[in-house]
Amino acid sequence: MTDTAPDHTDDAIHEDRLWRDDGWTARVIKNEDDDGWAVEMIKDGEAEPALVGPWTMGRDKKNPKPLDANAFRTLVKTASEVLRRHEQQRHAMLHKNVAVTVRGEDVTVTLDIVPDEDDPYADLKAFDAFGAQLAQVRVSAAFKLTKASAESWVENEYRKP
């Protein structure tokens, strides 16, 4: 007889120190830095917590306060915001653009870094004032997009820098 039971890893758990629901897991853990407690929030499928923060002591001043629905919702909201900010920061690091004017033409130059582990690179692109692509070249992921480097690329008729 084969085991055809469904995978229950996504099932909700609502315990005092472990709460799993809506794609998140909150786990109350011993704070390694002091005598208190901490809570970690882990998004399903992720290896590392999105958020680790202090957790309130219970009334006995020894054990942690139990998790509840309100606390869990607040933790999910906070952890989601942390992930959003990290994603925005990562996007800003990988996608840059500069506007330049060369020979009377407004050109927007973009640099999109592709952080491939084996062969990182970047795409350098130029767009006219209407958003039409004028040129594209592959450059090193270490390429620095500045106003001067963008102007130089445009002035050199989009030859690979």
pLDDT given for residue 10 in this prediction: 56
- Whether the pLDDT of residue 1 is over 60: the answer is no
Is pTM beyond 0.75 here? no
* Residue 87 and residue 34 share a domain: yes
Higher local confidence (pLDDT), 36 or 81: 81
Long-range CB pairs of 19-28 (<8 Å, 24+ gap) are 19/67, 19/72, 21/72, 22/76, 24/72, 24/75, 24/76, 24/79, 26/67, 26/71, 26/72, 26/75, 26/76, 28/55, 28/64, 28/67
**Residue 148 belongs to domain spanning:** 95-155
| Count: domains in the chain | 2
131-160: pLDDT as tens digits: 999 999 999 999 999 999 999 999 999 999
80 inside domain: yes
- Whether the pLDDT of residue 127 is over 60: the answer is yes
